[in-house]
């Protein structure tokens, strides 16, 4: 697979991976359209997630990931698996929070880290990943790179603006993970990272690279769990009176639209999916676009599902390119539905009351959208099943869940453990000279 940037040149998977953003500032897009349909038909309930990921990765990223390399990388990355949980006849949750940081971002971050480590083995260079986080991305990335050979990670987060749990997840790993607490906002953190990449001498001498969600190596691995979910025949076909042609819709709680874009690539490359639901909070730029054909980004508003508070989704351009920019083609495949905070709380309560299950606020937005869509289908609709991607463990959002439901989910062991460890972070101001001085000091 080769990737192209706006200015036209194509690069290898390896280069796209280490570049992140193309030198002309644009996003890398896949050049080819691999046909995965034969491969996918060969998967069933007996295909474990790691095996499925390895075979799919080999098919997508050939020739740079040989089947043997894809196997090594997948085994190293995926020591956890998704789970499909049936709520009722109509709605299933695809639980993607069984990884180390308890959110779906673990899948892609783990795969990216394992790929980079594989590509760097046998080389003498070292790379340094810089990542700015408002909470969840940082912990998935930090966990994924922790202990990887020839790689250091620097995670910048805004002081006092992340939850205690999120801060502990970032600051208790140690080793090759350096947490930097910035006296400023998330935008200040992002600006420091941008300035570092813009400083050619610094970038070159320290081998700086990025791991944010626009990196193709973090985008495409998300396709694996869509394929996994759609090939669990027993879980999907278990309901009575359902023909083989009634394949479920997939509903994706979305912010930057990386997750949904990966699912749409899986469909574009041969996964049989009747359609997707793009579920957002009131930052509904994409649902509005689907309705009106007008894309108008705006500044984001704060909501309960804060990982989806995005006013100008950076993967929209990629999503549109899959449909060659054709609004009608995109509308035929993707339905947009948004939820207010009130509706999000109501959905958390409903899932508890009806099924005795906790969902986090992001998953709740997806649940609400799925119910709306099912309701609009009425009795005549052929597709009556929706898989909702469950993007985070409810215990990561204890306060919000407790507020809505009146009870709180138990904290998994891997989260509880970091709460008891001491925080270790470097405190810095938001001036670039301070940050660049710090980088030079620890890495030279
Ligand atoms: C990042 C995130 C999302 C949004 O995913 P995108 O790929 O940015 O659309 C949804 N839920 C949770 C819990 C997240 O952390």
Closest by CA position to 252, among listed 336, 319, 318: 336
Helix (H, G, I), strand (E, B) or coil at 363: helix
What's the whole-number mean pLDDT along residues 136-153?
93
Predicted confidence at residue 380, as pLDDT, reads 66
Asked if residue 185 has a cis previous peptide bond (ω within 30° of 0), the answer is no
Q: How many residues appear in the chain? A: 444
Closest by CA position to 181, among listed 195, 193, 163, 167: 167
Find the distance separating the first CA and the last CA of the chain, reported in whole Å.
36
What is the 105 CA–ligand 1 centroid distance (Å)? 7
Which pair of structure tokens corresponds to residue 153?
A: 């990670």
**Strand ranges (DSSP E) for 200-356?**
208-210, 249-253, 276-280, 334-338
Longest dimension (CA), the chain: 67
pLDDT band at 241 (very low <50, low <70, confident <90, very high): very low
Residues 55-96 have pLDDT tens digits of 999 999 999 999 999 999 999 999 999 999 999 989 999 999
Q: Is the CB of 361 under 6 A from ligand 1?
A: no
Predicted confidence at residue 240, as pLDDT, reads 39
Which pair of structure tokens corresponds to residue 63?
A: 């020739």
Closest by CA position to 172, among listed 138, 196, 203, 195: 138
Residues 349-395 have pLDDT tens digits of 999 999 999 999 999 999 999 999 999 987 666 668 999 999 999 99
Predicted confidence at residue 383, as pLDDT, reads 65
Q: Is the CB of 391 under 6 A from ligand 1?
A: yes
Predicted confidence at residue 164, as pLDDT, reads 86
The active-site residue out of 105, 148, 168, 396 is 105
Ligand 1: which of 220, 252, 254 to mutate, judged by most atoms within 8 Å of the beta carbon?
Answer: 254
How far, in Å, CA of 421 to CA of 173, rounded? Answer: 9
Q: Is the CB of 396 under 6 A from ligand 1?
A: no
Ligand 1, atom 2: nearest CA belongs to which residue?
307
CB 207 within 8 A of CB 128: yes
Q: Is the CB of 248 under 6 A from ligand 1?
A: no
Predicted confidence at residue 20, as pLDDT, reads 87
What's the mean pLDDT when you consider all of the chain? 93
Q: Is the pLDDT of residue 403 over 80?
A: yes
Q: Which of 241-250, 289-298, 435-444 has the lowest mean pLDDT?
A: 241-250
Residues 147-183 have pLDDT tens digits of 999 999 999 999 998 888 889 999 999 999 999 999 9
Residues 278-334 have pLDDT tens digits of 999 999 999 999 999 999 999 989 999 999 999 999 899 999 999 999 999 999 999
Ligand 1: which of 132, 216, 362, 367 to mutate, judged by most atoms within 8 Å of the beta carbon?
Answer: 362
CB 153 within 8 A of CB 51: no
How far, in Å, CA of 56 to CA of 69, rounded? Answer: 12
Ligand 1, atom 8: nearest CA belongs to which residue?
256
Residues 109-121 have pLDDT tens digits of 999 999 999 999 9
Beta bridge partners of 278: 252, 336
Q: Is the CB of 105 under 6 A from ligand 1?
A: yes
105 is catalytic: yes
Quote the distance between the C-alpha of residue 116 and its chain's center: 18
Closest by CA position to 141, among listed 122, 123, 126, 156: 156
Q: Looking up tokens 């050979």, which residue turns up?
A: 149
Q: Is the CB of 307 under 6 A from ligand 1?
A: yes
Residues 185-240 have pLDDT tens digits of 888 998 999 899 889 999 999 999 988 878 999 999 999 999 999 999 888 875 43
Residues 2-33 have pLDDT tens digits of 999 988 889 999 999 998 888 888 899 999 99
Q: Quick one: which atom of ligand 1 is closest to the CA of 261?
A: 7
Q: Is the CB of 107 under 6 A from ligand 1?
A: no
User: Does an H or E element contain 261, and which?
Assistant: helix 258-268
What is the 427 CA–ligand 1 centroid distance (Å)? 27
């Amino acid at each position: 697979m080769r990737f192209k940037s706006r200015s036209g040149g194509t690069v290898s998977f390896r280069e796209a991976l280490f570049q992140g953003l193309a030198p002309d500032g644009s996003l890398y897009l896949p050049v080819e359209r691999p046909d995965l349909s034969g491969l996918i038909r060969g998967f069933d309930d007996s295909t474990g997630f790691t095996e499925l990921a390895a075979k799919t990765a080999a098919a997508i990223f050939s020739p740079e990931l040989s089947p043997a390399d894809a196997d090594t990388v997948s085994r190293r990355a995926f020591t956890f698996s998704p789970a499909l949980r049936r709520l009722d006849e109509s709605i299933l949750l695809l639980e993607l929070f069984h990884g180390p940081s308890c959110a779906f971002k673990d899948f892609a971050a783990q795969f990216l880290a394992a790929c980079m480590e594989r590509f760097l083995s046998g080389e003498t260079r070292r790379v340094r990943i810089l990542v700015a986080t408002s909470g969840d991305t940082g912990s998935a990335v930090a966990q994924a790179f922790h202990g990887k050979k020839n790689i250091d990670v620097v995670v910048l987060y805004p002081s006092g603006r992340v939850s205690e749990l999120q801060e502990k997840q970032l600051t208790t790993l140690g080793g090759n993970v350096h947490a930097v607490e910035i006296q400023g906002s998330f935008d200040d953190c992002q600006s420091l990272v941008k300035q570092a990449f813009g400083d050619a001498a610094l970038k070159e001498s320290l081998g700086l690279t990025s791991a944010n969600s626009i990196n193709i190596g973090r985008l495409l691995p998300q396709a694996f769990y869509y394929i996994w979910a759609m090939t669990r025949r027993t879980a999907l076909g278990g309901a009575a009176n359902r023909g083989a042609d009634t394949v479920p819709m997939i509903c994706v709680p979305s912010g930057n639209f990386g997750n949904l874009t990966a699912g749409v690539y899986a469909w574009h490359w041969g996964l049989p999916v009747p359609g997707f639901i793009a579920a957002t909070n009131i930052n509904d730029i994409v649902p509005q676009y689907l309705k009106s054909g007008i894309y108008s980004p705006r500044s984001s508003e704060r909501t309960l599902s804060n990982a989806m508070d995005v006013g100008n989704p950076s993967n929209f351009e990629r999503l549109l390119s899959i449909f060659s920019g054709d609004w009608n083609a995109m509308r035929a495949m993707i339905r947009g539905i948004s939820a207010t905070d009130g509706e999000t709380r109501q959905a958390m309560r409903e899932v508890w009351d009806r099924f005795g299950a906790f969902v986090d606020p992001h998953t709740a937005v997806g649940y609400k959208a799925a119910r709306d869509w099912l309701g609009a289908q009425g009795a005549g609709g052929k597709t009556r099943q929706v898989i909702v991607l469950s993007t985070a463990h409810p215990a990561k959002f204890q306060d919000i869940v407790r507020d809505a439901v009146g009870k709180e989910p138990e904290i998994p062991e891997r989260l509880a453990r970091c709460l008891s460890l001491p925080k270790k972070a470097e405190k810095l101001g938001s001036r670039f000279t301070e940050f660049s001085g710090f980088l030079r000091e620890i890495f030279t």
